[in-house]
């Protein structure tokens, strides 16, 4: 029991006393508001708004905890005179009229330079202090680590007092200085980085244009000018390359050298083959016609004049006599005429080639008419005497038709002759062209690798140029963005912590915790003590452990008394 | 060990308040007498055995209050029945204290009686109560062991038992000295005094073993200076 009380009192009291004696650490904080402008340029690859804010806040955290900001704050915190100078310079700079602004800023810059010299010393020589100070700075966003929608963050500094500061003032001063240093540094970094980025891209663009793109262009042009055109030395005038042959080069380039040449050649060869086929066809037809219209056959034909004569005669014979009597010998004569004409009806036979029938409409019609006439004649031959007038007329008709067909075929044959001549000429032309082309292709193929190289160089230069142009656009957009950059404001001024209530130690809470812990410890002690206590305390224990009866027990009196 | 040393270690005699009579003291004494009365009853009036004529009171370690209990038993027993002749024997030859507790001026004692230097009747001292007598330890001995082994001891004990109704012997700590061990075989019964919350059970068990090894008859244990978890003044109000 006493032991328990002792433990509780010792621990609780000890904690309380320790809290009282400990060096208090105070906390002070400022809240900083971030306002980002809406991004408007479409070229900027848009991260989602939340995401960009998060990234931004993370960057700010890095910036605040950077060596530069921290060390500057330390310098200012350690040196009151420098702090005063700096504060005044800042005030002057912010209050300066637009005319005096440049001068005021220069003044501030010189002070900052002074600070930076000492800050560098801290960074180089007092890493441990730097680390400790950084540890005392805490940056919080409401809602924890995942910032999301928050546009506000809080910078907290926890510091113990040092001589030269009123209680709690050191933390407050530190957080004040830290936020100011951070804002200064933010603007420095912002303007530097944007200016650099844009200028850098523009410089590279320029370099690329003068260094790569233009030479590539020029090389290609020179190449084309020297190889294609009048300047080129040539032995065969008809295969000389002309500027228009760039088309062929392009074509070759597109389809690959060998295949491309083949394609062009094949086209010409196909043309040649087509002409050959057509020519052969025409020749065959001509042959056919020639067979049908031989001199021999023509000789067999009754001439046109003779047919006319016969017709006239038939007309005369046909006239009715004045006396109404039939002229003697008329029948015989008619029979004779009929016989003469009849020979021609069947002989010579002329077969009109199908090709001609198809192509020549007149011949076709004639042929059909002739066929009809022959059918009519065949009919009448059976019914009437050979001297029958109409039959005779029919014979005449047939003869005439046949003559006409023959005439037509002759004309057809002539036309074919002309056609064959033309085709032959064309074929020759194509063959010649083919030879010329082959030579030309050979000449151009030699040029091709060079051309290809130059061309791809140019293409590559153009691609990278285009990319850089896009980058420049982006950089310019960023620059624009930076001009209306994120506004960062310190929302509230740092409050002075209550000297009676430092963050560490938090006396009441610590004491209560110590009380709780000590009670637990005391209980643990009690149980342990009981467990290891082997004394006999009551009758039950005696009987349990010794197996002996208890004959009596005497209470402890306050003092030793003999009854 | 000298008397001065003994006094420093155990300021027993300071506490021998027989005359003081405040209200609280009276209450304490009354309750103590009640408890010792119970002890007397359970030792001597136990139905299952005959009342021991010679009773050895010992403890496992020093300072457990054997002398207190012997004195208390003597006084309570003597007061309870004027007919009873009770003899207290201080066999604590090394640190005799019973005479001081009872406020008796002691001279020669049992040591001299056993050695035959002084007759028994001379050695016995009267006390404030007529039927209570004391046989003190006598002068300090260097070799009590010799006394214990002597035949004279048996004879003296037999004489004592014959002269009195009850002989209560105060013996030294059983775990330290062989006195109690030896004596326990010569008496009718032995009781073991332990201080509640002080003496370890292993120690008590050892003492018990010693007694039983010597064919002693252990009547029981007395829990001396016993405390209750809830203090008395609270307990009385509950």
**pLDDT tens digits, A25-60:** 888 888 888 776 665 544 444 445 556 677 777 888
Same-domain pairing of A196 and A67: yes
Instruction: Indicate if A6 and A45 belong to the same structural domain.
Output: no
Does the beta-carbon distance from B223 to A557 stay under 8 Å? no
Are B28 and A561 inside 8 Å of each other by CB?
A: yes
Q: Which two tokens stand for residue B107?
A: 């001279």
Span B147-160, average pLDDT: 86
B223 → closest Cβ in A553, A560, A562: A553
Model pLDDT, residue A83: 86
- The span from the first CA to the last CA of chain B, in angstroms, equals 48
Residue A263: the pLDDT is 76
Residues of chain A in contact with residue B202, where contact means CB-CB under 8 angstroms, are 534
Mean pLDDT (chain B, rounded)? 83
Q: Does A530 touch chain B (CB under 8 A)?
A: no
Which pLDDT score is estimated for B12? 38
SS3 A367: helix
pLDDT given at position B11? 37
pLDDT tens, A321-364?
566 666 667 777 777 777 777 776 666 667 777 777 777 788 88
Tell whether A141 and A273 lie within a shared domain: no
Cβ within 8 Å, pair B225-A546: no
Name the burial class of residue A536, with classes exposed (0-12), middle (13-18) and buried (19+) by CB atoms within 10 angstroms of its CB: buried
C-alpha Rg value of chain B to the nearest Å:
17
Lowest-confidence segment of A277-281, A425-429, B15-19, B37-41 by average pLDDT = B15-19
> What's the gap in Å between the CA of A532 and the closest CA on chain B?
11
**What is the residue range of A191's domain?**
23-203
A146 and A101 share a domain?
yes
Same domain, yes or no, for A2 and A94? no
Q: Is residue A408 domain-shared with residue A341, that is, in the same domain? A: yes
CA distance A146 to chain B (A): 58
Coil/strand/helix, residue A160: strand
Give the span between the Cα atoms of A235 and A243, in whole angstroms: 17
Query: Residues in chain A with pLDDT < 70?
Result: 36-52, 143-150, 193-195, 228-246, 248, 251-260, 318-328, 344-349, 386, 478-486, 557-563
Per-residue H/E/C for chain B: CCHHHHHHHCCCHHHCCCCCCCHHHHHHHHHHHHHHHHHHHHHHCCCCCCCCCEEEEEECCCCCCHHHHHHHHHHHHHHHCCCCCEEEEECCCCCCCHHHHHCCCCCCCHHHHHHCCCCHHHHCEECCCCCEEEECCCCCCCCHHHHHHCHHHHHHHHHHHHHCCEEEEECCCCCCCCHHHHHHCCCCEEEEEEECCCCEHHHHHHHHHHHHHCCCCEEEEEEEEECCCCCHHHHCCC
Q: What is the total count of domains within chain A?
A: 3
CB-CB neighbors (< 8 A) of A537 in chain B: 196-197, 226-227
In this structure, the dihedral spanned by the alpha carbons of residues B178, B183, B188 and B192, taken in order and rounded to 10 degrees, is -30
The answer to whether position A251 is within a domain reads: no
Residues A317 and A187 in one domain: no
B28 and A557: CB-CB below 8 Å?
yes
Beta-strand pair B132-135/B125-126:
antiparallel
Please state whether the peptide bond connecting residue A492 to the residue before it is cis, i.e. omega within 30 degrees of 0.
Answer: no
**Predicted confidence (pLDDT) per residue in A301-318, tens digit:** 777 777 777 777 777 776
Asked if residue A499 belongs to a domain, the reply is: no
| Section B12-41 average pLDDT | 69
Per-residue confidence (pLDDT) for residue A548, from 0 to 100: 87
CB atoms within 10 A of CB A296: 8
Asked if B226 has any chain A CB less than 8 Å from its own CB, the reply is: yes
- Cβ atoms of B157 and B179 within 8 Å: the answer is no
Same domain, A431 and A349: yes
B203 or B149, greater pLDDT: B203
Q: Distance, in angstroms, between A145 CA and closest chain B CA?
A: 56
Give ∠ CA A485-A487-A489 in degrees, rounded to 5: 155
DSSP string, A62-85: HHHTSHHHHHHHHHHHH-HHHHHH
Indicate whether A113 and A140 sit together in one domain: yes
Establish if A95 belongs to a structural domain. yes
Average pLDDT over residues B149-175: 89
At residue B169, does pLDDT exceed 90?
yes
- Please write the tens of the pLDDT for every residue from A173-202: 888 888 888 888 887 777 776 667 777 778
Which one of A177, A203, A229 terminates a domain? A203
What's the confidence (pLDDT) of residue A50?
55
Nearest CA in chain A to B195: A536
| Residue A524 distance to chain B (closest CA, Å) | 19
**Mean of pLDDT values over B178-202:** 90
């Amino acid at each position: 029991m006493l032991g328990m009380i002792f433990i509780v009192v010792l621990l609780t009291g000890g904690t309380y006393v320790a809290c009282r004696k400990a060096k208090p650490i105070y906390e002070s904080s400022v809240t900083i508001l971030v306002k980002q402008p809406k991004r408007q340029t479409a070229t900027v690859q848009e991260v989602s708004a939340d995401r960009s804010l998060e990234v931004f806040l993370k960057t700010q955290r890095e910036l605040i905890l950077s060596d530069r900001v921290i060390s500057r704050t330390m310098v200012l915190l350690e040196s009151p005179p420098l702090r005063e100078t700096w504060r005044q310079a800042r005030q002057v700079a912010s209050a300066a009229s637009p005319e005096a602004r440049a001068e005021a800023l220069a003044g501030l810059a010189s002070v900052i330079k002074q600070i930076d010299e000492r800050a560098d010393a801290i960074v180089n020589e007092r890493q441990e202090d730097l680390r400790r100070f950084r540890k005392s700075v805490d940056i919080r966003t409401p809602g924890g680590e995942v910032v999301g929608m928050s546009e506000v963050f809080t910078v907290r500094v926890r510091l113990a007092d040092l001589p030269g500061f009123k209680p709690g003032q050191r933390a407050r001063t530190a957080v004040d200085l830290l936020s100011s240093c951070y804002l200064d540094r933010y603007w420095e970094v912002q303007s530097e980085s944007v200016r650099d980025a844009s200028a850098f891209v523009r410089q590279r663009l320029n370099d690329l244009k003068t260094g790569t793109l233009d030479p590539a262009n020029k090389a290609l042009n020179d190449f084309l000018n020297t190889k294609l055109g009048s300047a080129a030395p040539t032995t065969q005038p008809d295969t000389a390359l002309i500027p228009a042959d760039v088309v062929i080069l392009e074509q070759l380039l597109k389809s690959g050298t060998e295949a491309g040449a083949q394609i062009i050649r094949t086209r010409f060869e196909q043309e040649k083959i087509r002409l050959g086929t057509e020519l052969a066809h025409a020749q065959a037809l001509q042959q056919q016609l020639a067979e049908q219209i031989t001199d021999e056959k023509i000789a067999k034909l009754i001439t046109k004049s003779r047919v006319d004569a016969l017709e006239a005669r038939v007309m005369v014979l046909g006239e009715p006599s004045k006396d109404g009597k039939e002229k003697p010998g008329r029948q015989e004569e008619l029979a004779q005429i009929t016989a003469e004409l009849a020979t021609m009806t069947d002989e010579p036979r002329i077969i009109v080639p199908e090709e001609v029938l198809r192509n020549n409409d007149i011949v076709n019609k004639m042929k059909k008419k002739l066929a009809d006439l022959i059918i009519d004649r065949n009919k009448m031959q059976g019914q009437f005497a050979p001297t029958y007038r109409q039959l005779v007329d029919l014979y005449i008709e047939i003869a005439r038709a046949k003559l006409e067909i023959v005439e037509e075929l002759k004309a057809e044959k002539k036309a074919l002759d002309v056609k064959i001549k033309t085709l032959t000429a064309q074929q020759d032309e194509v063959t010649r062209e083919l030879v010329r082309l082959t030579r030309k292709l050979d000449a151009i193929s030699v040029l091709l690798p060079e051309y290809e190289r130059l061309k791809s160089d140019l293409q590559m230069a153009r691609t990278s140029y285009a990319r850089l142009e896009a980058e420049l656009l982006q950089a310019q957009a960023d620059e624009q963005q930076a001009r209306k950059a994120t506004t960062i404001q310190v929302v509230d001024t740092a409050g002075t912590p209550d000297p009676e209530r430092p963050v560490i130690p938090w006396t009441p809470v610590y004491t209560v915790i110590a009380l709780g812990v000590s009670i637990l410890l005391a209980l643990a002690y009690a149980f342990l003590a009981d467990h290891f206590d082997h004394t006999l305390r009551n009758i039950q224990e005696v009987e349990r452990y010794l197996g002996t009866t208890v004959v009596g027990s005497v209470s402890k009196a306050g003092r030793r008394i003999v009854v | 060990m000298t008397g001065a040393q003994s006094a420093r270690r155990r300021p027993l005699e300071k506490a021998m308040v027989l005359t003081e009579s405040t209200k609280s003291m009276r209450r304490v004494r009354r309750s103590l007498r009640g408890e010792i009365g119970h002890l007397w009853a359970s030792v001597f009036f136990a139905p299952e055995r005959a009342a021991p004529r010679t009773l050895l009171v010992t403890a496992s370690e020093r300072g457990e209050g054997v002398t207190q209990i012997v004195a208390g038993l003597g006084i309570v027993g003597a007061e309870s029945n004027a007919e009873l002749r009770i003899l207290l024997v201080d066999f604590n030859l090394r640190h005799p204290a019973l005479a001081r507790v009872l406020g008796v001026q002691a001279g020669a004692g049992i040591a001299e009686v056993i050695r035959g230097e002084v007759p028994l009747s001379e050695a016995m001292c009267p006390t404030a109560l007529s039927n209570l007598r004391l046989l003190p330890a006598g002068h300090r001995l260097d070799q009590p062991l010799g006394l214990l082994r002597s035949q004279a001891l048996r004879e003296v004990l037999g004489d004592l038992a014959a002269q009195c109704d009850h002989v209560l012997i105060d013996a030294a700590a059983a775990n330290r000295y062989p006195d109690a061990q030896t004596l326990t075989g010569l008496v009718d019964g032995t009781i073991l005094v332990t201080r509640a919350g002080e003496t370890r059970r292993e120690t008590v068990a050892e003492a018990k073993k010693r007694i039983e090894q010597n064919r002693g008859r252990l009547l029981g244990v007395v829990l001396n200076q016993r405390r209750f978890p809830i203090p008395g003044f609270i307990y009385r109000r509950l």
